[in-house]
Amino acid sequence: MSATDTRVEVIATRVSGSISDWAKVARILPLFEQRGWTRVALTEVEGHGEARAASARLAADGARVLVAAGGSGTFNAVMEGLVDSGAPLDAQRLGFLRKGSADLIGKVLGMPDDVEPAVALLADAIEADHVEPCDLLRAETA
C-alpha cells in the first residue's frame, strides 16, 4: 500500500479562527487529492468537546493519522481524544493545520499559515513516516 492510500482524518472546529479560515478548510481535501491521496476525510465539529469525541471515535475505528485543523484548543482536544480511544499511542500520528486565532501551537511547530504549503508539509511527512515523538502527561485529581 502506498502512503497516498493512508487513511487521513481531518477534524476541524468551527469555534477557532475566522470566516476566512473556513476557506482554508474547504481547500484541505482538494489539496490532498491533487497529490494523489484517496482516503482523506473531513469531520467538522462545533467545539472542542465534539473534536475530542470525534478523535476518540475515529482512532477507536482504526484511524492512525489524525489532523487537527484549528487552534491550540482543537489540537489539545484531538490529542485527548486519541488518549481516550484506548488505541496504542505509539501507532498514532497527529498533525496540525493552523486555523486558530493565535495559532500558538502552529507557530511553535513551524507550520505555514497558508494551507497549500501546510498540506504539502503534512503529506510529505506522512509519506516519509516522519514523526516527532513527544511525551504525554495525564494528571487526574481526586
What are the pLDDT tens digits along the chain (142 aa)?
Answer: 677 888 999 999 887 666 567 788 899 999 999 999 999 999 999 999 999 999 999 999 999 999 999 888 899 999 999 999 999 988 899 999 988 667 778 888 888 888 999 999 999 999 998 888 888 887 788 8
pLDDT of residue 41: 97
pLDDT of residue 104: 79
Across 100-139, b (16+ Cβ under 10 Å) vs e yields beebebbeeeebeeebeebbbbbbebbeeeeeeeeeeeee
The whole-angstrom separation of Cα 98 and Cα 109 is 10
Question: For the packed helices 115-127 and 19-34, what is the interaxial angle rounded to 10 degrees?
Answer: 40
The whole-angstrom separation of Cα 49 and Cα 78 is 9
- What structural domains and CATH numbers belong to the chain? 3-127 (3.40.50.10330)
> Do 68 and 97 meet the contact criterion of CB atoms below 8 Å apart?
yes
- Write out the three cell numbers for 40: 482523506
> Do 22 and 51 meet the contact criterion of CB atoms below 8 Å apart?
no
pLDDT tens for 83-112 read: 999 999 888 999 999 886 677 788 888 888
> Do 85 and 2 meet the contact criterion of CB atoms below 8 Å apart?
no
pLDDT of residue 24: 85
